[in-house]
Amino acid sequence: MLETLYIIIAILVVLLVYAGISAYRLKKTVTNLTQEQFIEGYRKAQLIDVREPKEFDGGHILGARNIPSSQLRQRHKEIRPDKPVYLYCGNGARSGRAAMFLKKKGYTQLNQLQGGFKSWTGKIKSK
């Protein structure tokens, strides 16, 4: 019984350490921007919506290109590494993972919308 408790505690510690390391790496990789900060810079940058096409068609930030996170490995070369990249998804999770992937590919100017599209109150376009 005591051994099982120790195993559970060890697993929880490993998970917490992993979550902490992931959060630290994400913070070093991408800059989280408020909507106001995002609006200030996204017109001079590459605005990428990493949600799936169905989500994108339902409404997206005006001027955004749709490169779903599921296709990013094949399509990342469509994004210029020498220009700032502004990413967003539904809530920030997928855009964070996309930023981590792009960082590994040499992209350095990575930004994401804090809270994702769900928190966006600016202009949108839908099909």
For the packed helices 93-104 and 2-29, what is the interaxial angle rounded to 10 degrees? Answer: 70
Active site residue 89: yes
Task: State the catalytic residue, choosing from 50, 89, 98, 110.
Answer: 89
Residues catalogued as catalytic: 89
